[in-house]
Structure formats: structure tokens, C-alpha cells
Amino acid sequence: MAFVAFCGLRTGDLRLIARTVLPKIFLENLHLHACEVLKGRRAVVLTTLPRLMVEGFLKEYLEVGEVVGAELQVVKGCYFTGVISWPDKQRALRDMVKAGAAIVNLSNVHHHQLSAKEESRSESSKMPRNKYPKPLVFHDGRLAFLPTPCEMMAFFMWIPVAIPLAVFRIAMGIVFPYKISIFIAVVTGIRFRRAGDGKSNGEKKGVLYVCTHRTLLDPVMLCSALERTVPAVTYSLSRVSEALAPMRTVRLTRDRGRDAATMRRLLAVEGGLAVCPEGTTCREPYLLQFSPLFAEVVEEVVPVALDAWLGMFGPLAPVAAASGALDTVATASDPLALVVAASGPLAALCRPCRWPLLPLLPLCHYADWHQAAACAGR
């Protein structure tokens, strides 16, 4: 299994995966009591996992001093052969322990000094998000589930069905109007939930819909929720995503004057415009920083909280090596998906009890929304 996983893989790719994909998996399976034991102590971790896979996570999130693990053989300085050399734990421990320190039972073949008692995995032992050693804001990876053997078997069995299903869903979304395409999406397994009507009180300069940027499909989800086309402005978008988008997309230049003129023109012509935070997508329940420009070019700002629950595929996050155009394909390939959109005036965001779908929106911190909009309006 290790040979299949690592043979021919670039060292840089593994470091990228270890930094952006694996922390989420490790944190979700981290034992709460084990983390509390390590807190505030200099720890040396010995593991049979490849060192490059776990070293970054252990040092960044748990502040581990040293990591000893299996080493992967490399050829030509940048490719893994798939051959693993296992560490000598006793020798590694001797080298790391300070001179004069006692080592108990080092000759014992059972390695009692290196092993910990395995405890039952209960709900109380799971690490809650609010106790993470470090907030997990950005992470990467296409799979929305832990790739266990059984689930990976189901994944590969789903692939022959996923490809034609994705083509069908995307084609129906482009060809048919929103009311029909939403019905087709529901029939094929994509569910929609909406809170708020998104209606504006004034039409003098149009309405700016401010999205949370959970995925690259946020503007598409917004159009589906409103059942009308709303153009979107982006800082970077692949040509494939532009071609597949059912609404108009306009690129911004990061030149304040030119971007303001572009947004005012679109608002005057279209009557509405969708905009996301600067930077990249964030799949975790955090609100990224917005440019104050959006509060200067429009009279009415409508915050829109969007989220997407995917059972099999996840959208691409910021630092992935793959193309962001795969977001559309990944979402359309999911067997069952839930899309939630909630919009409303700023005054209503501090009173979430009025919104009937609040339990479906754990990502939205309404006070943060209000504070972000107020800061941008200064």
C-alpha cells in the first residue's frame, strides 16, 4: 500500500499535502486527552508513519520538539521510490535524550517506555473545534470524507456514475432557466434551502450581494436562490469556470479606480452584483476580510451566507496544485449535496432567531457579519 501511494510522487507534492490536506484529518481524529498531556511540554514523537507526512502537523499544531518516523527513499532528489526504511526507535530515543537522563526498560522488547495505553474512542475524547491548538482556517483536498478502505471502494464504484451525472447537471444548469434547473437538481440529489428573500429597499444604484466565499460556486448558488441572474466580479477565475458559469463574470484588476468604475457600471446596468472576500475560498466557519471598496460604490449591501454540505467530494481550497475549475465538476459529481443560502438586511443579522433555517447554517457568526460590514463602511 505504501509503495502504491508514494512511488513516483514528487517530494514537493507530499510536503504540500502534509501542510494543506492532512492537518484537517489529524485534528478531526486527535485525542483530546493526549493533546492535553502534550500541552506545555517538550515532546518527542516516534511514529511508524512517514516522517514527512506528520512532522509539519506535529510541530505546527502541537509544538512537538522532535519527530522520528519512517523515511521515504528518494531518487534524483525529488521523486519517491515507494520504499520505506523503518526507524530504530531505541537508538533514536538514545540520541534525543539528554546526557545523564535515565532511560527505563530500554532493553525490554515490548517497548513499554515508548507505548501509551490505548483508550476507547468515545465522543468525550474527540477534540472539539473550540479546543484546537491552532485554528484550522484553510485546508485542501477534494475528498469530503476520511478515505477508509470501505469508503474508498464506494468512491471508486461511484466514479463511473459520477462523470455522466456531472455532465448532465452542468448542462441542465446552463441550458434551462433557474426554476427548471433547480427542479432537475433536486431530482438528481442536490437539495436547496433558502432563508430571507434578498429583496432590496432601494434601486437607485442597485444591490451588492456580499457572499461568504465558501466555494467558487457561491455566485451560482446565489443566482439559484434568487432565481435570477446576478453577475459576479472575481479577481481570478479559470477560463473553464467562466465558460461553465450560467451568469456573467467580470475580472477585477486590483486597481481601485478601475474596479470601482467597473462595479458601478455593472450595478447601473444589471441592478445587482455578487462579490466575495478578497483572497480565496474558506471552507471553515470563518469570515474573511472584505475590501472596503464594496461599501463605497453602492447604497445597499445585502450579506449572503452560503454553505454547501457535500457527502463525497469537497471543493478546492486556496493552495491546491490542481485547477480551481474542478470545483464545478466536483460539486456536480457529488451523489447527495445540500446547499443553504440566507440573505437579509444588516439589521436582521443580529437577530438570527427570526431566520427559520438557522440550524442549517453553523458557519455564520452574525455578529462578525455585522462588525465586518460596519468596518468596511467606515
Question: In this predicted structure, what is the pLDDT of residue 247?
Answer: 85
Question: In this predicted structure, what is the pLDDT of residue 65?
Answer: 78
Q: Which residues pair with 343 in a beta bridge?
A: 304
Q: What angle in degrees, to the nearest 10, is found between the helix axes of 178-187 and 149-175? A: 160
C-alpha cell of residue 50 = 512517514
C-alpha cell of residue 158 = 461511484
Q: Is 111 left (phi over 0), alpha (psi -120 to 50) or beta?
A: left
Distances (CA, A) of 369 to 142, 208, 362: 28, 15, 13
Question: In this predicted structure, what is the pLDDT of residue 105?
Answer: 39
Dist. CA 71–CA 345, nearest whole Å: 55
Question: In this predicted structure, what is the pLDDT of residue 164?
Answer: 92
Dist. CA 251–CA 27, nearest whole Å: 36
Question: In this predicted structure, what is the pLDDT of residue 279?
Answer: 61
Question: In this predicted structure, what is the pLDDT of residue 79?
Answer: 85
Question: In this predicted structure, what is the pLDDT of residue 270?
Answer: 83
Question: In this predicted structure, what is the pLDDT of residue 110?
Answer: 44
pTM: 0.69
Question: In this predicted structure, what is the pLDDT of residue 323?
Answer: 55
What letters, b where the CB count within 10 A reaches 16 and e where it falls short, cover 337-362?
bbbbbbbbebebbeebeebeeeebbe
Distances (CA, A) of 251 to 119, 178, 238, 267: 53, 24, 10, 15
pLDDT tens, the chain, 378 aa long: 677 778 888 888 888 888 878 888 888 888 777 777 777 677 777 888 888 888 888 888 888 877 888 888 888 878 888 888 876 666 766 666 654 444 443 344 444 444 444 445 555 677 777 888 887 776 666 666 777 888 888 888 988 998 899 899 988 888 888 888 888 888 888 888 777 655 554 444 578 888 877 777 888 888 888 888 889 888 777 777 778 888 888 888 878 888 888 888 888 888 888 888 766 677 777 777 777 777 778 777 788 887 777 777 765 444 444 556 677 787 788 888 777 777 655 434 333 333 332 222 333 333 343 343 334 333
Nearest residue to 363 (alpha-carbon basis) of 305, 288, 291: 305
Residue 363, H or E segment: none
Residues 6 or more apart from 101 whose CB is under 8 A from it?
none
DSSP 316: -
Nearest residue to 2 (alpha-carbon basis) of 96, 79, 80, 93: 80
375 SS3 class: helix
Q: Is the dihedral of CA 220, 226, 229, 231 positive or negative?
A: negative
Residue 243, H or E segment: helix 239-244
Residue 129, H or E segment: none
Question: In this predicted structure, what is the pLDDT of residue 144?
Answer: 66
